[in-house]
Chain A
Amino acid sequence: MIEVKNVTKIYKVGDSEVHALDGVSLKIRDGEMVAIMGPSGSGKSTLMAILGCLDTPTSGDYLIDDKDTSKMKEDQLAHLRAHKVGFVFQQFNLLPRTSALENVMLPLTYDGTKAKERVERAKKALELVGLSDRLHHHPNQLSGGQQQRVAIARALVNEPSILLADEPTGNLDSKNGDEIMAIFQQLHREKHQTVVYVTHDMFIARHTERIIFLMDGKIVRDEAVKNPIKAGTKRPDEVLVNGNHNNNHKIIEVLQ
């Protein structure tokens, strides 16, 4: 379980201060699948960075499995990133000139896992995302969707408590985006994996059970999705046309 208590994040830009997060509190239980939505500058990426222990809040507490991370030192955070959190980026962030297998093994090289076990676990993770036949391909030999699946395998290889993804489908076409959603839903359904991702695409957000809506650094809506979209479902035309965040309020109502 993760719990965010009254978290603020203030950036200094020149002389002025930017309140990226302004008193955010939320709880995500184990096994939940959640989408975080919001317009640009709403603070959703900042929130993700804090959830992923990539950044620390200016004030407030962030608890992972009842452990408060807000006062942790850099290396303790590194340990959490290695063991509790798996992070998937919009730009995949794979190491170039490095095989899929080795990319997936990367987190294990930092936690003392033995070489043989590293290979086994990385293979298993790649199998989970359907890339058993691409173990020794380098990123430049893989499609965007495949690269993102390698990145998901890398995030999963340490069996983290939560899988976080920042715009995981943002750089992908709808077919590849569907594949990623299918994997997330499968992980959620079969492994009870906690999945949290940021998106500004309502259709993608509707693949979860819960959508948290941020605006100006505050949570403005937090509600359950009654009938989550099953991955592979055809995108409705209206959503496709109006799928930009300015109309998201309306779309939620339309879809519900």
Chain B
Amino acid sequence: MNVINNVRVAIRALRANMLRSSLTVLGIVIGVAAVVALLSIGRGATSNITEQVESMGTNLITISQGRSFRPGMGGASRSSSLMYKDYEAIQEKVEGINGISPYYSSQTQVSTTSRTTNYSVIGTLPAYLEVNNLEVETGRFITDTDNLERSRVVVIGQDVSDDLFEGLNPLGRTIKINNVSFEVIGVLASKGTSGIGSADSSVIIPIRTGYARIFGSMAVYNGNYTLSGITISAESKDFIDTIMYKVELVLRSQHKLGLNDDLGFTISSQEQMLSSLSDISNTMSAYLGAIAGISLLVGGIGIMNITLVSVTERTREIGLRKAVGAPQKAILFQFLVETMTLAVLGGVIGVILGSLIATIFTYLDLITAKVTFDVILLSFTSSALIGLFFGIYPAYQASKLKPIEALRYE
């Protein structure tokens, strides 16, 4: 009894009850399609997050205000402001640092003669470029000289350039930030990411220029300049923990905080961020997959149910097959092939349908789904296994029938 012959017999038996078989297959189709679509969406989300975080650079440590980024909140938040002096202290005292870049950012009006938009204007130092893993597409980045001289120069991201100059070469042109004229000296290479804080929508000026002309009193606390954050790139991955620990000690001594006092800052590494983000999205994927798995399971029970009915209905056929010499395993195999045919057919259609749903979602920009081979393999294999698992019991029942009793079954 070869396999092809068995599959043909199975298909004939299944076609004899076309509606019933189709509905059974539909149960598996829905289950598999749900698993494929939801896992693909989960995968898409995970890889999206990972890409965004990784594009920021490697071995990054960020220090930021622990409570609020908005200046002028007053009270507790002001008391733990991150200071420019903190940056100097960290740079002086903490070892293993590859690059360190303090920055102050503020939503500010940016305009050309024809357009006016609000951007987050970042005042920083030349190290910003390397620490944040950015590159200059045309022109140059800000330099120490620019900073010392408080030059009115600006480096803009790709989206900003497109917005303000609409395709014209921005180099050498003037933009007004808070009505102060700045010369565009460089444009950053696009990173392809979007959203708040993305390199493509940055407007970068020397930090001293910013303190002097743009940020105003908001950036001053007790006569000292404040910062929105400090970004540090470690020399190597191994140093990250030590650096984070030492940074905390420096900040505590700078702000005269005891070891048990609440540190008003957040010190986090990119790795931490990445792993907690991917933890979240993996958990999400697992939940989504599990929910979809339940419907696949229900589909499997449908297969078992219909096969049990089929075995009862075809008791005489089983008896006859045995009477002409079919051994038990041939009967077992015949019914297993039937359930597997249902499950595999459902699996194939389900994979196609699920991939289609995921692709349409991505195409419509609703959510980024990533249909990967392992997801397809996983859902297809589980549907086949479900066919096998839920098929074994009814098939075994059929194979155990006594020929004479099966033949006399009414």
Contact = CB atoms under 8 A, between A and B. Distances in A.
A75 B328 CA distance: 7
Nearest to B399: A74
Interface in A66-101: 74-75, 78-79, 81-83, 87, 89, 93, 95-98
Nearest to A154: B324
B1 A110 contact: yes
Contacts of B326: 78, 82, 110
A95 B326 CA distance: 14
B317 interface: yes
B404 A82 contact: no
Contact of B322 (A49, A81, A83, A95): A81
A85 to B, nearest CB: 9
Given A98-B12, A109-B1, A110-B1, A79 B407 contact: no
A87 B320 CA distance: 10
Interface string B8-49: 000010001000000000000000000000000000000000
B189 interface: no
A78 B325 contact: yes
A110 B12 contact: no
Contact of B321 (A75, A79, A106): A106
A97 B16 contact: yes
A110 B324 contact: yes
B327 A97 contact: no
Nearest to A105: B5
B330 interface: yes
B404 A54 contact: yes
B360 interface: no
A145 interface: no
Contact of A107 (B16, B316, B319, B325): B325
B289 interface: no
Interface string B305-341: 0000000000011011111111111100000000000
A158 interface: yes
A93 B16 contact: no
Given A93-B316, A95-B320, A79 B325 contact: yes
Contacts of A155: 324
A97 B12 contact: yes
Contacts of B323: 52, 54, 81, 87, 89, 93
B16 A110 contact: no
Contacts of B317: 95
A82 B16 contact: no
B324 A82 contact: yes
B407 A89 contact: yes
B404 A83 contact: no
Given A55-B404, A98-B12, A109-B5, A93 B320 contact: yes
A74 B404 contact: no
A47 B50 CA distance: 76
B324 A54 contact: no
A127 to B, nearest CB: 20
A36 to B, nearest CB: 16
A111 interface: yes
A40 to B, nearest CB: 15
B403 A54 contact: yes
A110 to B, nearest CB: 5
Given A93-B316, A93-B320, A78 B327 contact: yes
B404 A49 contact: yes
Nearest to B325: A82
A54 B320 CA distance: 10
A111 B320 CA distance: 15
Given A98-B12, A110-B330, A93 B325 contact: no
A115 B1 CA distance: 10
Contacts of B328: 74-75, 78
7 contacts: A54-B403, A75-B327, A81-B324, A110-B321, A115-B5, A154-B324, A158-B325
Interface of B: 1, 5, 12, 16, 316-317, 319-330, 402-404, 407
Interface of A: 49, 52, 54-55, 74-75, 78-79, 81-83, 87, 89, 93, 95-98, 106-107, 109-112, 115, 154-155, 158
Given A78-B326, A158-B325, 15 more contacts: A54-B322, A54-B407, A55-B402, A78-B327, A79-B327, A81-B322, A82-B325, A83-B325, A87-B323, A89-B323, A93-B319, A107-B324, A111-B325, A115-B5, A154-B324
